[in-house]
Structure formats: structure tokens, C-alpha cells
Amino acid sequence: MNWSTKTDVQTSIEIINDKIKLTKGTNKNKINVVAYQKYFNFLEKLGLREELQVVTTYDELTLGATLFHPLLINKNNNKIIVFCHGLTNNRWSLFYTMHLALQRGYQVVSYDARNHGLSGKSATTLGQIEACDLQDIITWVKEKYRPEKIGLYASFRLHYQLSKNKLNRNKINLYLCRYADHGEFPFLGDYIPDNLR
């Protein structure tokens, strides 16, 4: 794992730990970054992690991405969930959620949105162009890996809504959003099914 983004990851962990503390009424941190770092480093040593670059069709901007293959062998291995981070984050900010999908046997693609992380620099449009970028990521993943099914996890409502509207023709099998209409749901493990529809 490229832990040059460790400060972003650490900030994400602190935010999550703060939310858990408020919800559970405790002062203890629940997420330990070292355990996740070891897990993703282990996947890299086993050759189960691929660094990707996808060029957008909108303006030929290069987006940095990572594909993770799971350790677990099961019926979900030819299914991919694409993770879209929120504003001011990067592809590693959803590592705790990606881990849950990998534990269920799904492949995971996480990418840096334009003007975030290692992707090319460009204006951020709060979803307009980013939805086109996401479509490019999904098209590229489908052409290169030919997954049986594909899911989308978006970490903020606007990205989710714009993406869902523009991506129907790509036949996404599952949409998950960190911020649902009834408030935030904290643990994706309750929402990633054992099998995509």
C-alpha cells in the first residue's frame, strides 16, 4: 500500500473512530490502521494487488486506481465492487469498507477521483464530470476483467445519485451509498450481500 497517503488514511480513521465513539458512547478507538496496513501489504506481496491507470474520455485525464483480488475463493471472485471516495479523500480512504468486500470474496477497484490523490489535476465539479470518469472506470474494468457482475459503492449522496442516473446503461448490479436517505449507515458489512443480484 502506498502509505505516502497515510495522513489521509489516518484522518479517515480518526473521523470513523470519532463517529463510533459518539454512537457507542465510548472513548476507545475501534479502528487500528496498523492491522489494515499489514493486510493490504500482504495482498501486495501475494500479487493480489494491481496498480491501474485509466484515461478519461472527457478530457484524457489519467486516473490512478488499484484493483485488489481477494484471498477467499468463492462464488463472488468474478464480481467486482468499484469504490468512489468523497471530496478531499483518496482511493485509500475507504480501506475499512474495501476490506469487508474482500472478506466476502469480491474483487475491489478503488480509484482517485480527478484532482484527488495520484490522479491528474483538474477542476472538481461535484459529480458532473466525475460521473463520466466513473463510467470510464467501469467500462475499462468490464473490458479488461470481464466480471460476471459489478457493484458500486459511492461515499457521498451527490456522487451516488449522479452516477446512478448516468450509469444505468452500464448495468450495475448493486448500488450502495455511504449516506442513505435515512441517514448514514456506518458498516457496509451489513449491506454487502453474499451474492450480487
Question: What tens digit of pLDDT does each residue of 91-125 get?
Answer: 888 887 888 889 999 999 999 988 888 888 988 88
Report the percentage of the chain scoring pLDDT > 90.
Answer: 31
Domain ranges of the chain: 48-190
The answer on pLDDT for 67 being more than 90 is: yes
The answer on pLDDT for 189 being more than 70 is: no
Which range has the worst mean pLDDT, 12-21, 46-55, 61-70?
12-21
Question: What pLDDT does 70 receive?
Answer: 95
- Rounded to whole angstroms, the Cα distance separating 105 from 159 reads 26
What does pTM read for this prediction? 0.75
Q: What is the pLDDT confidence band of residue 160, given thresholds at 50, 70 and 90? A: low
Determine the CATH number of domain 48-190: 3.40.50.1820
Question: What pLDDT does 1 receive?
Answer: 43
- All three cell numbers of 151, joined, read 457493484
- Rounded to whole angstroms, the Cα distance separating 28 from 94 reads 21
CA 6 vs CA 21, 36, 86, 102, 144: distances in Å: 22, 12, 17, 21, 29
